[in-house]
Chain A
Amino acid sequence: MQLKAGTRLRSATDACEVVVVKAPAEPVDLRCGGHAFLPVDAEVTAESIESGFDQGTQLGKRYSDEELGLEVLCTKAGEGSISVGETVLDVKGAKPLPASD
């Protein structure tokens, strides 16, 4: 699917929701629990989580594929894991900036 920064998505298999922070220019096969993500306001389906894609997601963590230039932020946690195709995404390490406001 074509992604852009700010796009909100929901998992087809669990409660997970994400917002896209960075997206590549080309479409991405972004999945949760092994099934393609849906637009956040899409009808709730209840696909079952594929095995191998069940590590779960954590609220507030960022998941990325640096090579692709893709980064998403988990806005609601869930049981499935986020992947591009079959490749599960890594949690992006926290490198916080000092507070400025």
Chain B
Amino acid sequence: MVRYVIRRLMWLVLVLLGLCAITFILSRIVPSDPAACYLGPRPRPEQVEKVRVQLGFDKPLYIQFAYYLRDLSHGDLGESLRTHRPVLQGIWEHLPASLELMIIGIFIALLVGIPLGVISAKKENTAVDHLSRLFSVANVSMPAFWLAMIFQIVFFRWLGILPIMGRIDTVVSLVSPVKEITGFYTLDTLITGNWAAFKSALSHLVLPSLSLAAYSTGLIARMTRSTMLEVLREDYITTARAIGVSEREILFVQALRNALGPTLTTAGLCFAFMLTGTFFVEIIFSWPGLGTYTTNAIFLNDYPVIMGVTILMAMFYVAVNLLVDLLLAVADPRIRLG
């Protein structure tokens, strides 16, 4: 087990090195001058020259890459060319908003997806099953940004019951400001007992997290259905039925427990995928998270930010994969890691 973890971690380092190399090379092929970028509009040539030397852009590419890796190993992702603030700090400030969205999103996906899959498997090839499968495929096929916009039209424009911009109502945040402890507004307001802000933060979360959850819901329902179908055909289920265990217990306890493995793997990957999914949802809902931070950087050609986010996200993605594998091995003694 320990050896397996070590091997996976070494693999992770290799993967990240590869990713760094790819993004680094790509970001430097483009004919944009990072030094000019650093100085803002209309810099004087001698200024540009000075900054170029100062930031090391005059050195050959492989030396620049070596410098980047050296800084990276100290946890330094460089500083933004535009704001001149450390990239890591920027990411750190924007991360909680995205994470809050993702955590609520994955909960919604699990709460809707698993029961849907179980019922679908139970009623295989009936109208209920067909409908739920149609629902799953539709969820997976929906562009998140489009779903988000439809939600805005229906729940804001037509029904007028839910807000669509930002994390909290401006008036509420002025009257009863959120004291940031964890950066998760719902949690912070709950801890401080700031009910008005809590209600506002929660209502702002509904539509973005639903849009983010749609894709994962479909995938989880789908995966649960297919594993449940397999498990329900096994002998121990027949035995359980024969000795008179109630159908509900068979479905949701006996069978589901054994079908949960692949579902949780899927959920883990979905959670990791949501990091990119938030890009689209955040744009639509003006959500001040990582997605907004990154898309702004993309349009400003702020390559240290683009690279920093890419590397951290890839790290997160690979780490979640590893964690899911390990959790499964711990939960299920039949799995041996080698």
Instruction: Say if A and B assemble together.
Output: no
